[in-house]
Structures are given as structure tokens and as C-alpha cells.
A and B are shown apart, each in its own frame.
Chain A
Amino acid sequence: MSGLVKDNIFGSSGVVLEAAGGLSWQPVVTASTVTVSAAKGYFINTTSNACTITLPSSAETGDQIILIDYARNWGTNAITIDSNGLNFQGEPDTYTVDYDTAGQSLNLVYSDATTGWTPSSDIANALEPVAPPTQRGLFGYGHNASGAHFYSITNLVNSSGTVASDTSGVGTGRWKLAAASYGGDKAIFGFGQSSSASTNVSNLVGNNGVVASDTTGVGTARDFLAAAGYGGDKAIFGFGYSGGPTNLVSNQGVVATDVTRVGANRGSLAAASYGVGLAIFGFGSGPISTTNLVNTSGVVGNDVSGVGTARQELAACSYGGDKAVFGYGFETGGASIRSMTNKVSNTGVVASDTSGVGTVRNALAACGYGGDKGIFGFGQNASSTALSMTNKVSNSGTVAADTSGVGTARWGPAAAGYSFSA
């Protein structure tokens, strides 16, 4: 017995134990081994390594120990219980006891020599926090008619949907790229086509809207792909020219290597988040109106038959908290540029065409703003003239008429939401 008075209570034998009135909770454990004591609680952080937990070599009825997956990482690096000569669930110490479920907590109680340590619970707790919606957005990068300008400029969108003038560019100037939110309140631009060739570089955007310099590329360099957030705080890039795979983006903004594509091989598509942690890729070259749903783990589903006018070089954004809308694009040939939209329900069902509002155009971008609204912006018209007008999307999915353009007119930009603050 040692330490503070509060760390010592009576065990069932009457012996004074090292324990608090309830349990004595210990500082976070990050090591690969720890020897634990009865009447204590431990936060086990296995972010960097698995952890072998050695239970006391002697125990008495009612001794209790709680172990909690501190970083929800036991699914990657498991904890291993060494029952130190005593039984565990009736089995001897020679048996292997691993707990390997993310979010698990293990509440152990010692019964007797026969059964030894028994879990009174070993449930995996759900991850409950849900990120608030992003309040701001930004359009970034793009190209214009002169053919010589591959921009890296950005235009911030405030929580009222007002587009700011150009912010000087950072990173490789390019177009035909994609962007999505990640980490709750940050964004990432990735891939695209620079003056020389397709690229796989990415540029992180902080929750203050500041774009970072190039991050070395991961995954197949390509353009005319799409991206969306999924799983609450992660993102996915997918499809693109040609034979494009998908690449998951962690909640830290790290792009993973290629995942073999599922669904129709296409570029010039669009993507947006919908539901709770879900995403949808839709439409694209052909043109087609096929969609592919993305689950909360970033797994892309098989092709879903198209609804609405097949078209490509369109854009998509979320609205209403859990719905999305595809809009604009062209059918076949540059003369068939459209402004119709197709709403996506919170279960991922695409509705038929809604008559277009605003200037018909293609090669535009879209993102959310104000928590539950969206905005389409930029693009080009049938005369291949670069545009800068925007069209707000209400929280019921209604597209407003053109708002006069601010910033350098261009096509092939990308857009994403960022910032929890209005």
C-alpha cells in the first residue's frame, strides 16, 4: 500500500488494497506491456503497438479491472491478456486471450480458481460524435480559354454563400482535379492535369481555408475524377481517366494507395456525401447516369442503373444535412450543355430531372456552405468560354438563378467544404 489515501480501500478479504473508492483510473498506457492491478482502470492506447496486459498473479473473488480501448485501435493492434498463472474464462494461462475490436472495453471480475477472470462486459462502444456540417467552402484551381493558364488560385465561400475574390495560388496549377472535405472541417484537393501531364499530387486545406503546398502523390495519376466525404471524417477520390481506381483519404488527410475500381470505368463524373457518412459517385463519360454508392467504410458499391439524363462534366454537392444534388453537365457533344439537376435522397436514391436553373454549363464544381446548403460555380459554356457565375442551392435542394461571378473565370476547378465556424 502506498500513495494517496484515496488509492487504498478494503478488499473482500479485509486486506487494505491499492484502490480508490470505485476504481483507480491510471494514466494512458502506450507501452507494449503493462502489469495491471486489481481495482484499477486502464486506458490502453495501441495506436503504435499491440499491448500485452499481465494480470495479477493472485486474485480474490470480486477483484475488478477495466481496460478501455483509448484510441479505438484494438482492431489494428490488439491487446493480449496474460492471466499470469490464473484461469481466464475457465481456461488456463496457456490459452491465448486477445481482444481485437475497435472501441471495446473490457470489464474483468475475478470469480474463483476454477473460472478465474471473467468479463462482466466486453462490448465495443459505438463512436458517437458526429461532426457538425461545414460552414464554408472553396473553389480552387482550374483552367481558362487561353490554354496557357493552369491555375492554383482559390475562391473562398463564406457561410452565406458569398464567393470571395481570388486568393493567390499554392501548389501545382492544374484542372480536372477533385476535392472533398476530410477530418470534419478540412479539405483536400487532389489529382488533376497540369500543363504537362496528369498528376497525383494533393493539397490539404486547413480549417481556415489556407491551402498547403503540394503533398507528394499517392495512387494512379489521373484527371476528370471525383471525390466526396464519407464515414463522417474521411474522403474518397474515385474513377477518372482512364481506368481510375479509388483512393481513400484518412481523417488526417493522408491519401492511400489504389483500391481496384468497382463500377463502370468512366471519368467526368461527380460525387457528393449524403445520408450519415455515405457518399455517391454518379453520371460521367459515355455519357451515362449510372451511380455507385459508397458505404461508411469507403467501400464502393456496384453500378446502380441510372435515373435522369445521362451527362458528364457535371458537379454535385450536399444539401439539407443528408441529401445531395447532381447538376449541370453536357450530354453528347458540346452543343448539348444542360442545367438540369437530379436530387439524391438521404438513402441514395436519385430522382428524375428537375428543370434547369441558371446558365447551362459544364466542367464546373460544387460544394456545401452554411451547414445545409450548396453552391455550383464556374465552368464553361457552349462556346468554350470560361465562366465564374455561381448558383446557390437551398437547404431543400432548390437551385437559384445565377449570381454574378467573382474571381477569375475558369473551368475544371474543384470545390469542397471546410470549417465548422460560420
Chain B
Amino acid sequence: MSGKIVNNVFRASGVIAATPGGLDWSTAVVTGSTLSASAGKGYFINTTSNACTVTLPSSAEIGDQIVFADYARTWSTNNLIIDSNGNNFQGDPDTYTVDYSTAGQSLNIVYSDATKGWLPVSDDAVAITDFVPTIQRAIFAFGNTGSKVNTRNLVNTSGVVASDASGAGTARNNLAATGYGGDKAIFAFGTAASGNTAVSNLVSNTGVVGTDVSAVGDAKGAPCGLNFGTSGQGLFAYGVVSDNVNTRNIVSSAGVVASTVSGAGSERRSLGGTEYGTGLGIYAFGDGAQYYGVSNLVNTSGVIGSDVSAVGTARTHTAGARYGSGGTALFAFGNTAGDVFINTRNLVNNVGVVASDASGAGTARYEVKAAEYGGDKAIFGFGAAASRTGVTNLVSNSGVVASDTSAVATANNGNEGVGYGYS
């Protein structure tokens, strides 16, 4: 017994025990493979790296209580093992094996008597209810307004595009963007005045673009970015180096671009990409040896699958974005063979199946870019038809594309859009 009076209460026998009024949760998170637990205490047991054998007190009295909580929701992988240290547990002797092996479980035990020993007050597995928040804002940046620029246009949670704001980093077009770390974004690659580059620019969760981060990977133009996994990772893939490629660069949850690794699917550029389902991605369309209608699914590890046969009309310079809350996405706009500009859209269901062409809305054009905003909606913007434009088209949370919203920003093609921010 030590410390303040409030940290000491009376046990059933009347003996003063070193515990606060309820339980003493002051012990640090337990990561070891063994623990000697004491009555009147609560323990957070982290079994991420190993199972944990908990030895209960060798003597106990009625009403002694101990609580164990699955700190990292890993008890199903590495169990919590109870050594009842000579006392009974649920009426069975110490020789019996007592494992708790359910993720998210918490175990609240109380000592009854010598016959039944320790009994659970509860051994419930609590649900995980803290879901990752959704992206609320978007940013369009860089591109070609007549000359290569690094200006940016922020999009608020209602899909309203702000006027041009100063940016940062090498002015360029034909770049790509993806989210990372949950609520941040990264622009990378593109074609600068000096040619293709592999520099990248991080975007904070308040929409501020950082200066150039030294190039990693092959300098290339017209790749495409998307999110994958459940840990805030991104992926850049495809594009043109000296020829069209299908290589890829994974972006860590800290926004670090990894070196180039092999990819899969038809080598092409100017394709669209978006996340769908839970932690999955999909690339589709693009041009290379031909205009493509194929798609390529990306698994939760960022690995790209081989071509899935085309469903929609082959096209290039299209864009993709997620919409709704059920893992759905869409591709829209672009140009088909013969430079026919379209506003056609193709919905993607939550298992990555691309639907056939559906009528769209808004000015038919190519080099349109897209991003998520408002939690469950998307916005397509910019591009060119007879001339470059700054109009935008909002997408509802049911995948319906609205007619043109008048341009606020300077007309731009070859820029890029991406969502950011939870606020």
C-alpha cells in the first residue's frame, strides 16, 4: 500500500488493499509473455507480438476483481492464457487450460470461493466502432493553363471550387495524385518544362502543397494514382517513361514514395483509377498500343491484377472517383478513337465489376480530373474539348453526374485532383 488515500480501499476481509475506489488501471500496457496480476487492478494486455500467460494471485478472497482488456484486438492471434495459480477457475482446477482467444475481448473476473474460484462477470468481445472518417475536401493543382503551373484550387465540403491560389513545387502537367495517411495527399510525376519528372509534393490535411520531394522512381508522365489497403497507403502506376509502362510505386502511409517495382496489365498511360470496396483499387481505360477498355484490380497489398476484359467503350484521358458509402466508384469523361469527346460514365460496384456505358452529363471533354469530397460524393473538373475549361461536375452519393458548374478557376487541362482532410 502506498500513495494517496484514494488509491487504497478495503478488501472483503477488511484488509486495506492498494487499489483505488474502483480498479487500479495505472499499470502500463502489458506486452510481455507473462504477467503476475493482482486483485483490484485492470490490465491492458497487448498480444501483438506474443501470447501472454497471466498468473492470478495465489490467494484470493471473495470479491477480489481483476479486469483484462485486449489492447490491440489481437487475442485471437496470440491468446490470453490464465494460470489460476492453484485456485479454481469456473469451478475447474488449475490443471485445466484457460485460453481467451477472441479479438476485442475483455475479461472481468471476480473471486467467489474455493469451490468455483474465479468467475467471469463478463467476457464479452466488444465491437470496433471507431471507423476511419471520410474525406471531406478536395484539391485540384498543377496543370496547363497555357503554360505549366503549380496553382491550386481547393474544393470545400459542399463541392464548391475556390479561385486560384498559389501553390508550390515544380510546375507541370500530366501528373498523378493519391491520398495517403488517411487525410493527406500527394502529387507526383508529370511533365515539367524540362521533361518528365519523378518529384512529388505532399499535401497537408489542410490542403497546403509542400515543396518538391526528391525524385524516386522513373521520371514519367501520365501515370495514375489511387488509394489501397486500410492503412493509408497509395499507389502510382502506369504512365510513359520512354515508352508506356505498367510499373508501380507504392506510397507509404507517411507519404514516402517507394522505388519502382513491376506491375501487371496492358502498358498504357492517361488511364483512370479509383479505390472501391474496402481497401481495393481499380485502374481502367487509357491508351498505349491502342485505346483500352480493360480494367485492372488492385488488392489490399497494392498488387495489380492482370487485364479484365473491357466492358465500356475504349477511351483515354478519363478519370475515376469513389462515391457513396458502399464501396462504389465511377469512371467518366474522356475521348474515344477519332478524338470523340464523351461524358459517358461507367459505374463500378463494390466488388470491382465495371458496368457498361451509361449516359452522363456536362460538357463532353477529355483530360478531366476527379476527386472525392463531402464524405460520400465526388467531383469531376477541368479538361479540354474545343478548348481547355474550368467547369466542374458534381457527383451525388448515388453516382449521378450533374450538369456543368460554371468555372471559378482558370481553365486548365493536365492538372490533377485528389481528396484530403477529415474536417
A contacts, CB < 8 Å to B: 4-6, 9, 20-28, 41, 43, 66, 68, 70-72, 105, 107, 121, 123, 125-132, 184, 420
Contact = CB atoms under 8 A, between A and B. Distances in A.
Nearest to A132: B95
Nearest to B62: A25
Contact of B116 (A20, A24, A71): A71
A219 B9 CA distance: 56
A54 to B, nearest CB: 21
A105 B11 CA distance: 22
A125 B19 CA distance: 26
A249 to B, nearest CB: 18
Contacts of A184: 92, 96
B14 A127 contact: no
A6 B9 contact: yes
B115 to A, nearest CB: 8
B21 A22 contact: yes
B133 interface: no
A139 to B, nearest CB: 25
A132 B84 CA distance: 14
Interface in B52-68: 62-63, 65
Contacts of B98: 128-130
B110 A123 contact: no
Interface string B81-96: 0100000011110011
6 contacts: A6-B10, A20-B63, A22-B9, A105-B121, A121-B124, A128-B99
A71 B116 CA distance: 8
Nearest to B23: A22
Given A20-B12, A420-B95, A28 B113 contact: yes
A68 B121 contact: yes
Contact of B97 (A20, A43, A129): A129
A126 B110 CA distance: 15
B12 A130 contact: no
A25 B9 contact: no
Shortest beta-carbon contacts, A-B, top 8: A6-B10, A25-B63, A21-B9, A129-B96, A129-B92, A125-B120, A130-B97, A125-B123
A contact face: mostly helix, strand, loop, or mixed: loop
Contacts of A130: 96-99
A359 B103 CA distance: 49
Given A41-B110, A43-B119, A121-B124, A127 B63 contact: no
B122 interface: yes
B112 A28 contact: yes
Nearest to B97: A130
A126 B99 CA distance: 11
Contacts of A121: 122, 124
A128 B123 contact: yes
Given A68-B119, A125-B121, 18 more contacts: A5-B10, A6-B14, A9-B21, A20-B63, A22-B22, A24-B63, A25-B12, A43-B112, A43-B116, A70-B116, A123-B123, A126-B120, A128-B82, A128-B90, A129-B91, A129-B96, A132-B96, A184-B96
Contact of A68 (B14, B95, B110): B110
Contacts of B90: 72, 127-129
Give chain B's interface residue range (CB within 8 Å of chain A). 35 or more
B100 interface: yes
A392 B25 CA distance: 52
A346 to B, nearest CB: 16
Contacts of B110: 25, 41, 68
Nearest to B63: A25
A288 B411 CA distance: 83
A337 B116 CA distance: 50
B9 A27 contact: no
Contacts of A68: 110, 112, 119, 121
Given A25-B110, A129-B97, A131-B92, A107 B122 contact: yes
Nearest to A124: B123
Contact of B124 (A21, A25, A70, A123): A123
B11 A6 contact: yes
Contacts of A22: 9, 21-23, 63, 65
B93 to A, nearest CB: 8
Nearest to B17: A21
Contact of B121 (A26, A27, A107, A131): A107
Contacts of B22: 21-22
B62 A27 contact: yes
Contacts of A126: 120, 123
Contacts of A128: 82, 89-90, 98-100, 120, 123
A184 B97 CA distance: 12
A332 to B, nearest CB: 44
A121 B100 CA distance: 19
Contact of A105 (B20, B23, B122): B122
Contacts of B100: 128
Given A105-B120, A123-B123, A128-B100, A21 B21 contact: yes
B304 to A, nearest CB: 36
Contacts of A28: 112-113, 115-116
Nearest to B109: A125
A23 B19 CA distance: 13
B96 A21 contact: no
Nearest to B113: A28
B97 to A, nearest CB: 4
A147 to B, nearest CB: 44
Nearest to B100: A128
A44 to B, nearest CB: 11
Nearest to B89: A129
A112 B254 CA distance: 50
